[in-house]
Structures are given as structure tokens and as C-alpha cells.
Structure 1
């Protein structure tokens, strides 16, 4: 794998593909609803195709008092996360929670900071308000750092680099980005995938219809069913589907794009954006954020990060 010179994140190159193994199983899954994000991105799409809207409770069970002046660690950190989002967070067939984010949480909170952790399933399109309502202490949910979200939360140092990409049905007559014009595109609500698709819609002077789903699995199923012509989503999650449940039924749309424009060693398919993931904190939680950043750096320095990365990704 490659690293940028100064930022602690992973850059996936042309040799990077998703493993199909599940990796280590860690964490405790609380009962709750699942779905999708709190940045308000992707508003105004013409078509909505989703399940029932989820409503977040305003319980503060398991939460700790936070203060920007305090360096005292909590006994346990509750983590908000949109599940499933394979390979970052998902349940195995036996109901155990696993994934890249889950293993990183174990290494950071349990391994480095010596505290317990617990994942709380939360709809991604309401996850930032839920954080700021004290429903949990942090967000770890393959969340892209961007200016809109940074107005509402503070982020850790980046810990992963991803690209927004497009997958299409195998045998589709779509062969370039321009061929998406006039088509139905599936996205997950509140995600940067939805924002990237909105950017395409603007580029096509509005000649694109976005269908939004509570979870990315809904968009993938719509692709298989012929209800959408393509899905826009993170490359790692798209690759997990292409190489797993959607094997033989979906492929990446090829072409050059944002990664090449940014001078990255890009994967061999169209990239709409280059993005970095971070852990999100409330804006009054500076002390805890500093401790987590130090723990992330330690996990990188001792090789634990690379071992976890190898469980889920190749390259």
C-alpha cells in the first residue's frame, strides 16, 4: 500500500482490490435501526426510492460527559455507525460485528487507550445530529471528511483514502461517464456518493435521476433488478459487492477521473472524487480527539494498522 507524505491515510493503487474474507470479529452490537448520514448532502434529488424513514432516539444511555478541557478517559466509548457497510462495518452470518472500522476501533480504544467500546447502529443520514444529541461519543462509519460536515463536527486525522466510483450491470451499454446522461442512478442517502451523483446531474444540465436508498444494499439490489442503470458509491464498498454478492452481475465503469487529476496512483476505473475518512467528534470534545489521534498514530507506528488493512484489502 502507499501513503501520502504527511497525512496518515492509505492510498489504494492500481493493484488494490477487495478481499472476500471477513477478518477478525470484534465489538458488541446494540439493538437499533440502521440506515444512512447527517451532512445534508444530496438534497433536492428528483426521485426517492427508500424504505421507511428512521427516527433516532434521543437516549444518552452509555454516554459520558465531555469537555474540551478534560483529558480523563471514559470507561467506555459508544460509537455511532451505519451498519451494514461492508467491508468497513457489517455483521457476519452468526450476527457478530466485524469490518475494517471495527478492527481499527478495537486497536485504538481497547488496545491503545485501554477502554471498552460499543457500536450503536445509526442511520447515516441522521448520524451527525445523533452525535450532537449525545446518543454516542464518536462516529466511525467510513465517513468522508468535508467542509460541510466540519461545520458540525470535528474530525480526527485521516485514516483512510477512498474514491467515489460507478458500477454498472455486466453487459451494460454504458461505457463512459457521458453514457450515464439520462439514466437512473442509485445512491445511499446523505453520503458523498449522493453528492458525487448530484455533481454529475449538474454536469449533465439536470438530465440524470437520482434514486436514494436508506442503505447501500438497497441500491445494489436495485441495480441487479434493473431499477437503476448504475450505482455511485465508495470504491471499496463497490468492489466488495462486485467481487461478492454481485459477482458476475456488476462491474466498474472504466475511465480516468479525479484520482488521475490529483496525481494519485489510481485504481483501474473511473474515479469521481478523492476522499479521506476520519473519526467524527462533537466540537466540545477536543481532549478526547487529541487522545484518539495519538492512539491512531501509535497504531500506525507499531504495524497494527497495516495488519488490519491486510485483513480486508489487498495491495
Structure 2
């Protein structure tokens, strides 16, 4: 794992955009047939931070997701720009529908509900839900959280999993972003936290006072999304990036191993 950008660098600008504010239509169709809201630049919506998938370092957005999308952009000779907006604006499809970006990213699980409002790329990361606690807590399962508290992140499949599977008397504390959710566990504000395994395993590697004590096989896959029924050529370019040797190299840079077949 790593905490810096790839040696080749990734020049993406961090922009703050008010959720729900549509932009004037300046979109163009590229030679490859893909539609971009700003010709020559692939504009990416995400919600920060979500290490190691996307986070800010040295004034730039870095992480696995922007690096994968940079493979797609480089193949077309495009620049990249990252826009940080609310997670609900992303998963509802509003960010794409209002022209705030060309593609949405954010370790986003492909679900039927989301596929109804967005078109997804091929899966690019297999994920499970993980349970994180303070080191040595003695908690090993959701059942152990009866009468205790657990942190989740708003609008995530992890939050849904906890609501469906935790004991009825578990106190579920919801946070707007992953950093707040993780800090709640680290500082003892909650007894445990549940979120995607890639996120929590990375956090544990940097914070030895917490540990992942269990993972739950939920059959989840992440995908990048584009506006519904309107940008198949961009999806093809992104899928080609996911299938490339460059993707394998980026995966190994961020996670320390080659992707499983």
C-alpha cells in the first residue's frame, strides 16, 4: 500500500461544487464518440475522502479510482479533473444528470437501484463489508454489538448491511463521510464501525490501535458510472482501461498485490 501519488503523477484539480447546481451545457462529442462536459477533459465526480480510493494529498486528489480513470483519459489524450460533491448527489445520478461531471467514481457498489438511474462500467474491484474495532476489544461479530454502538457512513451498502443484520438493540451512528466514521471508532465514540474492506484495511494499516475483526461476503463489485442511456462510447473507453495491463500495475501500486482473476 502507499500514501502518495504514483511516480508518474496524476494532475487532477480539486473543485468544490454545490450539489444540485446544473452547469450551462458546454458538452462536446469527441472523435471517439464520447461526450464530455468540457472538451478535452474527463471530469470526475467523487466524494472525499475515501482512502485509498480517493483522497487529497498535497492539494491534489490521488487514489486508486482517479488513477484508473487517468488510464482511460490518457488513451484519448484527455486531461482529468476531479469534482468533490455530496455522496447522495452521486448515487442518485443527479451529478451526471445536471452536467457536473462525465463519470462518477467513489468505490461505488453496483446495485439494481443505482443501475436504474446510471449506466455502469464493468466491475473493477471486488469488495466485502468489514467490521472494525479498537484493538483488543474482544468484539468479533455483529452479534457481539448487542447493546453497543456501531458507526456507518450515510448512503452506503455497509450501512444497509448493519441495519439488516445487527441486533435490534444496537445503536447505529451514521456519519456523512468515511473519515468521520473511522475516527468515531479510533477515538472510542462508537464501539465498532462497518464499511468496505478496502477502506478499513487501509485505515488499519496506518492506525495500529484499531483492527478489522471480521469480513462479510456480500458479493459486491465497484463500478464507474455515466449518464443513463447517453454515453456508451465513454463506457467503452473506461472498460478498455479496466481490462488493460496498466490497470493491473495501478492495482498493485495501491494494494500491494496483483488483482485476482
Category of TM-score, reference length = shorter chain: 0.7 to 0.9
Residues 122 and 239 in structure 2, CA contact (< 8 A), matched pair in contact too: no
Which residue does the alignment assign to 1:281?
226
Distance 2:154 2:14 in 1: 22
Q: Deviations over 1:198-233 (max 9, x none)?
A: 2223xx3x3222111111110111112211111111
Residues 43 and 80 in structure 2, CA contact (< 8 A), matched pair in contact too: yes
TM-score by length of structure 2 reads 0.87
Matches within 5 A, 1:142-221: 142-201=107-166, 204=167, 206-221=168-183
Instruction: Compare relative contact order (CA 8 Å, sep 6+) and give the higher one, 1 or 2.
Output: 1
Distance 1:27 1:174 in 2: 42
Distance 1:167 1:215 in 2: 16
Q: Deviations over 1:248-292 (max 9, x none)?
A: x111113xxxxxxxxxxxxxxx22523111111111324334432
Which residue does the alignment assign to 1:106?
70
**Equivalent residues, number:** 249
Distance 1:182 1:243 in 2: 29
Distance 2:85 2:35 in 1: 24
Which residue does the alignment assign to 2:87?
124
Q: Deviations over 1:275-315 (max 9, x none)?
A: 11111111132433443245325xx34x2111101111123
Distance 2:235 2:60 in 1: 30
Unaligned runs of 5+ in 1: 1-18, 34-54, 255-269
Residues 34 and 231 in structure 2, CA contact (< 8 A), matched pair in contact too: no
Distance 1:150 1:64 in 2: 23
1:253 equivalent to 2:197? Answer no
TM-score by length of structure 1 reads 0.73
Distance 2:26 2:158 in 1: 30
Which residue does the alignment assign to 1:229?
191
Greater strand share, structure number: 2
Unaligned runs of 5+ in 2: none
Distance 1:59 1:279 in 2: 21
Residues 33 and 234 in structure 2, CA contact (< 8 A), matched pair in contact too: no
Distance 1:27 1:162 in 2: 27
Residues 20 and 94 in structure 2, CA contact (< 8 A), matched pair in contact too: no
Q: Deviations over 1:96-137 (max 9, x none)?
A: 22111111111111x222222211001112223222222111
Distance 1:174 1:32 in 2: 39
Residues 188 and 214 in structure 1, CA contact (< 8 A), matched pair in contact too: yes
Residues 64 and 137 in structure 1, CA contact (< 8 A), matched pair in contact too: no
Residues 54 and 61 in structure 2, CA contact (< 8 A), matched pair in contact too: yes
Runs of 4+ in 1 over 3 A off after TM superposition: none
Which residue does the alignment assign to 1:22?
4
Distance 1:163 1:152 in 2: 23
Which residue does the alignment assign to 1:46?
none
